Homo-oligomer: A and B are copies of this chain.
Amino acid sequence: MDIQATLDHIDQTLPQSLERLSELLRIQSISTDPDYADHCQTAADWLVADLASLGAEVSKRPTPGHPMVVGHIGDGAPHLLFYGHYDVQPVDPLELWNSDPFDPQIEDTPNGRVIRARGASDDKGQLMTFVEACRAWIATNGKLPCKITFFFEGEEESGSPSLIPFMKDNAAELKADVALICDTGMYDAQTPSITTMLRGLLGEELTITGPDRDLHSGMFGGIAMNPIRVLTKVLAGLHDDTGRVTLPGFYDGVPELPAEVREQWMALGDPTEMARDFLGAVGLSQPAGENTRTGLEMIWSRPTCDVNGIWGGYTGAGFKTVLPSQASAKVSFRLVGGQDPHAIREAFRAYVRAALPADCTVDFHGHGASPAATMDTSSPLFEAARQALTDEWPNPAVFAGCGGSIPIAGYFGDYLDMPAMLIGFAQDDDAIHSPNEKYGVESFHKGIRSWARVLGAVK
């Protein structure tokens, strides 16, 4: 297989590839906010048209939420399914962006050229590395080396409510030999990785109600229970002084790291220095997790609890001496190993209810519950892909953990009985979910080349 001609073509057509990515980035496909539903449709339409231009048999598939895009092209073994998502996170706080989040800009930075926009890294830029690799394969070889199914969703940033029903309803069409997922990062700028351990995610929203209306803290302050006081006490009690989560049974099913994996991770560098470097990039210095764990464990193999949002009372300019009726928070748990999201949801709710004073009530709203996923790396496709990545980048590729949750990785095993291989080219400083998100032009360029090599290697 003359892969070099394909790689050369990728190098020569990079400007056109970047322009196509920019077109997709201009579409404001925020899935979590209903006001942007039309933009999600537009993004799906754009992908249908782009895949059709490759010769794929492709269509937009309705769901109760945002649509799926499914396309098929090529033939022959192995049958690869490529998954990505076209939806993006909200952009607030907008005032912290240096440019319009939906007007992508190519910028030179001290760490190289980047393309800056919401979704540049998560996940439009990553998704397009694979599409562009296919385009280059077809341009230089007339066709793809094997059968490929594209499977794009538009609800990944809002909990993928339509995904499992759609996979079940279309199992025969989607079933392949392996699912390729491009929503992860490199270990560092020189070291590609295949992610084989993913944390799960449980989201909970709670609203505590005290008095049945907002009160004046002069008239009622001191005698009326303030729900913010209750909420802060509840949330403050979720961690003990060692950084452990206090919910009963929370650590049930959390495995200790196998000795060989611990050794492999220790070989990546001194844990204290690594934690300091990792945190130093965001203005921190002290690991805040369980004080008996290394930084890599804290983000790859240990469960967490974070408050992602809190609100109550008067939050505008100036001061208002209100004693509010309600206080709310959004809380998430990152899960590992065999932790049961539903058991932890119940433990959380029981803990909150038990902590409430007599006069307070609580309402809960669940926001998704996915267990952790550990990949089965026994298929020879994993080793072939690892070698292809090693050929492209300065350092050998590693099997790594990932702190984030990509529930889809587990769903392919659970509902379609196929392994998932997670390869991505994002960097830690891509600022995904944050203002000024970017994707390195090198991530994009060498990402396309990496996929071209993987397509050559798995044949």
Interface residues of A (CB under 8 A from B): 32-34, 89-90, 92-93, 96, 157-159, 185, 199, 201, 203, 205, 210-226, 228-229, 231-233, 235-239, 275, 278-279, 282-289, 295, 298-299, 302-304, 306-324, 327-330, 332, 334, 357-359, 367-368, 402-405, 428, 431-435
A-B contact pairs, 20 of them (CB 8 A): A90-B316, A92-B314, A211-B282, A213-B283, A214-B433, A215-B282, A216-B434, A217-B332, A218-B334, A222-B288, A222-B289, A223-B275, A224-B284, A228-B306, A229-B307, A232-B235, A283-B359, A309-B324, A310-B310, A310-B313
Are B315 and A310 interface neighbours, CB within 8 A? yes
Contacts of A303 in B (CB 8 A): 222
B-side contacts of A404, CB under 8 Å: 216, 218-219
Top 7 closest pairs, chain A to chain B, by CB: A218-B404, A212-B283, A32-B318, A309-B313, A222-B304, A225-B288, A236-B236
Contacting residues, chain B, for A311 (C-beta < 8 A): 310-312, 315
Please state if A319 and B220 are interface contacts (CB–CB under 8 Å): no
Known pairs A185-B219, A216-B433, A231-B310. 14 more at Cβ < 8 A? Answer: A201-B218, A212-B283, A213-B283, A218-B404, A222-B304, A224-B279, A228-B307, A307-B313, A308-B313, A309-B320, A309-B324, A310-B310, A321-B433, A322-B433
In the complex, what residue of chain B is closest to A30 when comparing beta carbons? B318
Q: Are A312 and B314 CB-contacts (below 8 A) given A232-B235, A320-B89?
A: no
* Inter-subunit contact B310/A220 (CB<8 Å): no
Whole-angstrom CA separation of A256 from B215 in the bound complex: 27
- Residue in A239, A275, A319 with the greatest tally of chain B CB atoms within 10 Å: A319
Determine how many copies of this chain the complex contains.
2
Whether A201 pairs with B321 at a CB distance below 8 angstroms is yes
Specify which chain B residues have a CB less than 8 angstroms from the CB of A328 in the assembled complex: 315
Asked whether A229 and B225 contact (CB < 8 A) given A216-B404, A319-B330, the answer is no
A318 to chain B, nearest CB (A): 3
Q: Which residues of B contact A226 (CB under 8 A)?
A: 288, 306-307
Given A219-B428, A317-B32, A318-B158, is A358 in contact with B309 using a C-beta cutoff of 8 Å? no
